[in-house]
Amino acid sequence: MHQKSILRHKHLTERLGLSKSTIYRLLAEGHFVTPIRLSARAVGFLESDIDAWLASREIVSQKGQA
């Protein structure tokens, strides 16, 4: 069985180099992955979704350089 990793904000901001407010702004604009609710006051992000988002940003960046 494949285990899914969940990133909480601390690890997400460290990995992406983005602040929590920037992540929420991107989310509000529809430019970031949807978090999953872990409890009434906690959310997390699937690491596989973050990997896919990063790959999509890389493609956009490469197209802008062409």
Tokens of 27: 């989310």
Model confidence over 17-41: pLDDT tens digits? 999 999 999 999 999 999 999 999 9
* d(C-alpha 19, C-alpha 50), whole Å: 15
Which pLDDT does position 57 carry in this prediction? 85
Whether the Cβ atoms of residue 36 and residue 45 lie closer than 8 Å to each other: yes
pTM, two decimal places:
0.80
What percent of the chain stands above pLDDT 70? 83
Flag whether pLDDT at 50 surpasses 80: yes
Which pLDDT does position 4 carry in this prediction? 85
* d(C-alpha 38, C-alpha 55), whole Å: 25
* d(C-alpha 39, C-alpha 35), whole Å: 12
